[in-house]
A and B are shown apart, each in its own frame.
Chain A
Amino acid sequence: MHDLRFVIPPQDINREDFASSVPDFNRRSEIMRTDFGYRCMVTNIVQLTEQERLFQLRIIDPVERTLFRFKPGQFLMLELPGYGDVPISISGSSSNHEFLELCIRKVGHVTSALFTIGEGAPVAIRGPFGSSFPMDEMAGHNILLIAGGLGIAPLRAPLFWINEHRNRFLDVDLLYGAKEPSQLLFTWQFDEWQMINHIKLHTIVERADTAWPGKKGMITDLFNDISIDTAKTYAIVCGPPVMFKIVCNWLDRLGIPMNRMFVSLERRMHCGMGKCCRCMVGSTFTCIDGPVFDYWSVMNLKEAI
């Protein structure tokens, strides 16, 4: 019998040097850190409708707070320990480094739990993940923003960006459709957007009583109201899954090039890092390659919209 002892020693991966070669997409250099969240405190909660609330978060650690940067269109994973984490698009301004704003609808397990917490409660975030709207590329053009229902939430971040750099853009139109007048979100900002930022806001609702002064109908009815120079326009579309195809076909017919239409998709996600495959559409991950896609790449993807 051999008395040789071939014991394989455990290797400590925390000391692996390749960890530093990973792209620091997630703002911290150690790979382990993608599993840890930033500690945040809920500083304010605004009840938008019965179903939706706007959560204002502040990262507790001052160093982490200054390091945290995101681009309009990106999302983050909001963690509530014990309940799970959910992908939420950031609807605050990307230049606001103090507070993060997340518009959340109460639909699932985690979001229901989120609606029970109050101001001052701790939560954690991971991220930011995903692609963003190419705001620099859009500069010098007309912008057409089309939002359906909760789709206004991811569009609010580019809208903030546009407002902060308003002189870089030509005409900005915002088409916003909802089911009922009471479902319209961020109504307190409508005047600010229209008066101060000169954004042409068109709202429409599907159902309304006689007290509603505005238009009634589907979001596509609003296309008759606007006149845009299609050669100089970028479009950003976000809404429920059924809306994308209808709206993008309309825009296509109007003559906006497909690579200038941007959509923000939603899928079920468990990791946000391209590992769990839950958000996979054809060959692309919604979490890494998306959630912002141009219509050209999404149109070729089967089952995408």
Chain B
Amino acid sequence: MKPGPFSRRLAALRRFASVLLRHPQSALGTALVFFFLILALFGARLAPYPNPNDQSHAPRVSPTLDIGALQVGEHPFGTDRLGRDVYSRVILGAGSIFRIAGLGTLISVLVGSAVGLYMGYRGGWFDELLGRVIDALLAIPALLLALVLVGIIRNLDFEIGSWQAELADNVVLLVIAVLYVPVVARVARSSALDIKTREFVEAAEIRGEPTYYIIFREILPSVIPALVVEASLRFSYAIFLVASLGFLGFGARPPSPDWGLMVNENRGGFYQLTPWALDFPALAIAILVIAVNLMSDGVRRAAQKGD
């Protein structure tokens, strides 16, 4: 019996993974991303002190981590000036950055590819109009647009517990989605322009297939590799953007264990007192950003080879 569609997809996935993991850099990047993902998912159970704002410890304890002697100690990354365990806070901080960057990217990819595919397939005035809007949006620096949007929404007063307040709390996530929709849409549009000239799309038109069928059933599968590449690239930028906004004070609000915020809170004069409270979250940001970049590099290579 010939392999069915399911096992065929499985084989394609296996091929993809093998190309991704063949290069040492992308294998390392992927491993690190998965490591952080585990921290993000099970942080509450992995952290020695699951409450990030537990101030019961002695303040300003130096890191007890001693790699040479293979000792972890009570506070591997030390405690900050308020007596919070830095190690636990770094672990707990992984969750928010993944949630915001990941969900933001996901929304932008879903919306962006739908919009882009429709633009590319439909063409005409719709494409023309939206194309200009996208061009305009792309001309604005991402960080600047994010700061403006966050600034406006943060300054609105909402009833506590209302849906508007809920929305304002997730403002960074939404900003990421809004920022990247045009970028993803442009990629999807150009791919759709290429695919729609293929004869199998014309065959579907001759059958009288509705637009949604042609877009999602005929065109989308061929565009997915390009979208996967774009998604991984967007994710790496989103991580960086979340950390940047946190550091600038526009992201999470104190006392949440956001990495960017932790760097911000412990700079200046405090750095002399507890340098470790800044160093470790900064290191976490750096490692994650580099890891995601290495991974997306590998994803691009694997997606190109896979086809």
A binds B: no
